Amino acid sequence: MILDGRKTADELNLVLKEKVSLLKSKPRLEIILVGNDPASLSYVKGKLSTTEKLGMVTNINYLDEHVSEKEVYDLIHSFNHNDEVNGILLQLPLPKHLNSEMLMESIDYRKDVDGFHTINQGLLFQKKAGIRPATPKGIMMLLDHYGIEIEGKHAVVIGRSQIVGAPISKMLLDRNATVTITHSKTKNLAEITKQADILIAAIGKAKFVTKDMVKQGAVVIDVGINRVDGKLVGDVDFNEVEPIASYITPVPKGVGPMTICALGYNLYELYLKQRGE
């Protein structure tokens, strides 16, 4: 069965829209986009149209690819101190001359809609309330929407990035899955992934996961967004794996729309916290 991220996001967005309509003012997100990478641009535009539909405001700050680090820093600083701004998103990756770690950390963690800030990552790893990274949060929302059981299941995560692999592993662990984290130095990867009841692929390599790596009846979540000959392709070879999976996310219309949905929920949460509601 296909886990329809687009449809699920639409449904959850309706709920959020209702909540947002009850607020005294519109939550506002500032997106900082450096350079004109077409993939980033299309993704940012997607976010823009979704948040606007939900009754929230999104501004995109287009910066030249040669912008200085100080200019980006100053812009973030001004948003940190602007009470009208509820969320700040610095689109990654940044050009090499900019220190993304430093700039991410310069965002006030109370406006960190991505949940990438050290403080928010720390709150996650200490199991305390905080803003959760949007992609893992979106994946959890999708699993829950379809009533997929997590407790006691063996979840195998391919990838250990701060953005996806590490936080999704912790979130699954906190829901009582038994979690195995794998990466580029893992030996006998297929033997491990074949044991997964829930397999999360967050690698960044088109069609990396083939059917010989998947157990019959597994739940397969494909986080990958790869562009091959102008087409979007996931990290899972969908045609091969779909027949043996009990549930599988497609690309597009899988994890992507759920990420944007989770970002909307994060912005709403930030707004409430900032207003003391």
Ligand X SMILES: Nc1nc(=O)c2c([nH]1)NC[C@@H]1CN(c3ccc(C(=O)N[C@@H](CCC(=O)O)C(=O)O)cc3)C=[N+]21
Q: Which is nearer to ligand NDP, 180 or 274 (CB)?
A: 180
203 annotated binding-site participant: no
45 is catalytic: no
Q: Is 158 in the site for ligand NDP (CB under 6 A)?
A: yes
Using alpha carbons, list the distances in angstroms from residue 87 to 113, 210, 218, 240: 5, 38, 36, 40
Of 114, 197, 235, 237, which is the active-site residue?
114
Spell 69-90 as b/e; 16+ CB within 10 A means b: eeebeebbeebeeeeebbbbbb
160 annotated binding-site participant: yes
Closest distance between ligand NDP and the C-beta of residue 227, in Å?
9
- 256 within 8 A of 225, measured Cβ to Cβ: yes
132 annotated binding-site participant: no
Task: Name the 3-class secondary structure at 264.
Answer: helix
- Token digits for 117? 């800030």
Q: What is the Cα–Cα distance from 152 to 8, expressed in whole angstroms? A: 25
Residues in region 118-137 near ligand X by CB under 6 A: 134
Residues in region 208-227 near ligand X by CB under 6 A: 225
110 annotated binding-site participant: no
96 alpha-carbon distance from chain centroid:
22
Q: Could you say which of ligand NDP, ligand X, none residue 2 binds, taking C-beta under 5 to 8 angstroms by partner kind?
A: none
- 210 within 8 A of 193, measured Cβ to Cβ: no
Q: Is 159 in the site for ligand NDP (CB under 6 A)?
A: yes
Q: Which is nearer to ligand X, 42 or 82 (CB)?
A: 42
Q: What is the Cα–Cα distance from 199 to 244, expressed in whole angstroms? A: 13
115: left (phi over 0), alpha (psi -120 to 50) or beta: left
Q: Is 185 in the site for ligand NDP (CB under 6 A)?
A: yes
As a whole number of Å, the end-to-end CA separation of the chain is 39
114 is catalytic: yes
Site map 102..141 versus ligand NDP, x via CB under 6 A: ---------------------------------x------
Task: Please identify which residue in 220, 223, 236, 261 interacts with ligand NDP, judged by CB under 6 A.
Answer: 223
Q: What is the Cα–Cα distance from 239 to 96, expressed in whole angstroms? A: 36
Q: What is the Cα–Cα distance from 34 to 95, expressed in whole angstroms? A: 8
> Interacting stretch for ligand X, rule CB under 6 A, among 22-30, 78-86, 247-255, 264-272?
247-255
Binding residues, by number, are: 159-161, 225
Q: Which residues bind ligand X (CB under 6 A)?
A: 42-43, 46, 89-92, 114, 134, 225, 232, 251-253, 256-257, 259-260
Binding residues for NADP(+), by number, are: 159-161, 225
Q: Which residues bind ligand NDP (CB under 6 A)?
A: 135, 158-161, 163-165, 182-186, 189, 202-205, 223-226, 255-256, 259
Active-site annotation, residues: 47, 91, 114
